[in-house]
Amino acid sequence: MKNGKLVILAQALDNVSPDPIEFNGKLLPDDDDEMRNVAASFVNTVTRNGEPVFDEDRVRLTAYEDAFVIVLPSVERDSRNRIAPILCYSSYNASEDEGFHDSIVDSLVDFAKKIERNIDPMHIKLMRESLLIFKKKTLKQKHTRVFTTLGIIVAVIVLLLLLVCVRFWKI
């Protein structure tokens, strides 16, 4: 990630220790409540307002505008034998398209290693697939917005020209 924000978090497996949260590549200290709340706020904005884009075998991607939250299960289970996923928040910027997938996937895999978790390669594959779908969707929305704006501008210009012509013809 060059400019965008990147949040990766998981829940502590013992359900008692502080949850590991990484913000732009830095693991947040346990007592940094301010930054932890900021990171949570980014995630919640997407999950509360966004729409599901991908959901397969517990790999889920939710998107809100150009931001997304992806959740994928780790192999490990928590102290209550629950599935313990890892969550990643980021955004897509078309001008930084090169290496978008790899950058997100690498960051998540690194985080998983740091907190001693493993991810099934199948889930990594699904994660790449979901990111691709999200990227296409975001680009399509962006193109639609650009063409709609262009269309409106052209329509206004044509209308103005018509008005000028009518006025000129009348004179």
Partner 1 sequence: MLPVIAWGVGWIVTAVIGGIGVGLAGAVLYQLVMNKWKGKRVAVLGARAVGKTTFLSFLTTGSIPENYEETLYSTECDGRRFQLKDLQLRIKDSFDVGGAKHNICEEWKNEFIESDIVFYLLRADLLMNDDSDTVNRVRSDFNIIKDWVDELEVKERPTFYIIGTHCDLDILYSKLPEKNKAAYIDKFQLLPIIVDLRCLGGVDKVILGSMKTLEYTEALVYAIFKQVTL
Q: Shortest gap between Cβ of 12 and partner 1 (angstroms)?
A: 8
Which of these, 70, 57, 78, 62, lies nearest to 111 by C-alpha position?
70
Of residues 41, 141, 144, 148, which one binds partner 1 by CB under 8 A? 41
Of residues 18, 29, 99, 151, which one binds partner 1 by CB under 8 A? 18
Encode 66-100: b = buried (16+ Cβ within 10 Å), e = exposed: bbbbbbbbbeeeeeeeeebbbbbbbbbeeeeeeeb
The C-alpha atoms of residue 157 and residue 154 are separated, in whole angstroms, by: 5
Of residues 55, 56, 57, 58, which one binds partner 1 by CB under 8 A? 58
Which of these, 53, 138, 43, lies nearest to 92 by C-alpha position?
138
Q: Choose one: 76-84, 107-115, 122-130, 150-158; the region binding partner 1 (CB under 8 A).
A: 76-84
Q: Is 9 in the site for partner 1 (CB under 8 A)?
A: yes
Instruction: Find the helix or strand (DSSP H, E) in which 63 lies.
Output: strand 59-64
Q: Shortest gap between Cβ of 96 and partner 1 (angstroms)?
A: 25
Residue type, 110: D
Q: Is 84 in the site for partner 1 (CB under 8 A)?
A: yes
Contacts to partner 1 by CB under 8 A? 9-12, 15-16, 18-19, 21, 33, 36-37, 39-41, 43-44, 47-48, 58, 69, 71, 73, 78-85, 87
